[in-house]
Amino acid sequence: MAVSSFDAAGARITIFRALLQTVAKHGRKRIAFEDPERKPVSYGNLVLGALVLGRKLAAMTGAREHVGVLLPNMQGMGVTLFALLAYGRVPAMLNFTAGVRNLKAAGELAQLKTILTSRRFVDQGKLDEEIAALGEGRQVVYLEDVRKQITSLDKALGALMSLVPGLAHRQHEAGPDDPAVILFTSGTEGKPKGVVLSHANIVSNARQVFAHAAGAISERDVFMNPLPAFHSFGLTAGMMVPLLHGMKVVLYPSPLHYKQVPKLIRETKATFLLATDTFLQGYARAADADDLSSVRYVVAGAERVKPETRRMWEPYGTTILEGYGCTECSPVLAVNTPAAIRDATVGKLLPSIEAKLEPVEGIHEGGRLTVRGPNVMLGYLDAEQPGRVVPPEGGWHDTGDIVVLDDGFVAIRGRAKRFAKLGGEMVSLAAVESMIAKIWPDQNHVVVGLPDARKGEQLVLVTEKPDADRAALQEAAKAEGFPELWVPRAILVTQAIPVLGNGKIDYGSTRELAASRRSLL
Whether residue 439 sits in one domain with residue 492: yes
Lowest mean pLDDT among 11-20, 44-53, 152-161, 306-315: 152-161
Q: What is the CATH number of the domain that holds 508?
A: 3.30.300.30
Q: Could you tell me if 402 and 425 lie in one domain? A: no
Are 413 and 404 within 8 A, CB to CB? Answer: yes
Boundary of a domain, candidates 383, 406, 429: 406
411 inside domain = no
Do 450 and 515 touch, CB atoms closer than 8 A?
yes
Q: How many domains does the chain have?
A: 2
Check pLDDT > 60 for residue 172: yes
Q: Based on the fold, state whether residues 447 and 356 are members of the same structural domain.
A: no
Q: What is the pTM of this model?
A: 0.82
411 versus 503: the higher-pLDDT residue is 411
Q: How many CA within 13 A on the CB side of residue 411?
A: 11
Provide the pLDDT for residue 498.
83
**Cα–Cα distance, 379 to 46 (Å, whole number):** 30
Which pairing describes strands 367-372 and 397-406: parallel, antiparallel, or unpaired?
antiparallel
Say yes or no: 23 and 86 in one domain. Answer: yes
106 lies in the same domain as 157:
yes
Rounded to a whole number of angstroms, the CA Rg of the chain reads 23
Give the domain CATH number at 106: 3.40.50.12780
Asked whether residue 65 falls in the same domain as residue 182, the answer is yes
Residue range 74-91: mean pLDDT, rounded = 96
CA dihedral (416, 422, 427, 432) in degrees, to 10, reads: -120
Q: 371-410: b or e for each residue (b if 16 or more CB lie within 10 Å)?
A: bbbbbbbbbbbeeeeeeebeebeeeebebbbbbbbeeebb
Question: Does 54 reside within a domain?
Answer: yes
445 and 303 in a common domain? no
- Boundary of a domain, candidates 375, 406, 437: 406
**Domain range enclosing 513:** 418-520
What's the N-to-C CA distance of the chain in angstroms? 55
∠ Cα 151 158 19 (to 5°) = 140
3-state secondary structure 190-204: CCCCEEEEEHHHHHH
Span 213-220, average pLDDT: 86
Contact assessment for residue 110 and residue 92, using Cβ atoms and an 8 Å cutoff: yes
Mean pLDDT of the chain: 88
Reported as a single tens digit per residue, the pLDDT across 382-431 is 988 888 999 999 999 999 888 999 988 999 887 666 767 665 566 777 77
- If asked whether residues 433 and 358 sit together in one domain, one would say no
- The answer to whether residues 172 and 221 touch, using CB atoms and an 8 Å cutoff, is no
456 versus 136: which is more confidently predicted? 136
Please say if the pLDDT value at position 105 is more than 70.
yes
User: Which tops the pLDDT comparison, 83 or 1?
Assistant: 83
pLDDT band at 171 (very low <50, low <70, confident <90, very high): low
C-alpha 371, offset from chain centre: 18
